[in-house]
Amino acid sequence: DIQLTQSPSFLSASVGDRVTITCRASQGVSSYLAWYQQKPGKAPNLLIYAASTLQSGVPSRFSGSGSGTEFTLTVSSLQPEDFATYYCQQLNSYPLTFGGGTKVEIK
Partner 1 sequence: EVQLVESGGGLVQPGGSLRLSCAASGFSLSTYWMSWVRQAPGKGLEWVANIKQDGSEKYYVDSVKGRFTISRDNAKNSLYLEMNSLRAEDTAVYYCARVGGGWRSFDYWGQGTLVTVSS
Q: Give dist(CA 94, CA 60) in Å, integer.
A: 31
Rg (CA), the chain: 13
CB 101 within 8 A of CB 42: no
Q: Does 72 bind partner 1 (CB under 8 A)?
A: no
Chain residues 5-34 in contact with partner 1, contact rule CB under 8 A: 31-32, 34
> Please, what is the minimum distance in Å from the beta carbon of residue 16 to partner 1?
28
Shortest gap between Cβ of 30 and partner 1 (angstroms)? 10
Contact 24, 18 (CB under 8 A): no
Give the binding site for partner 1 (CB under 8 A).
31-32, 34, 36, 38, 42-46, 49-50, 53, 55, 87, 89, 91, 94-101
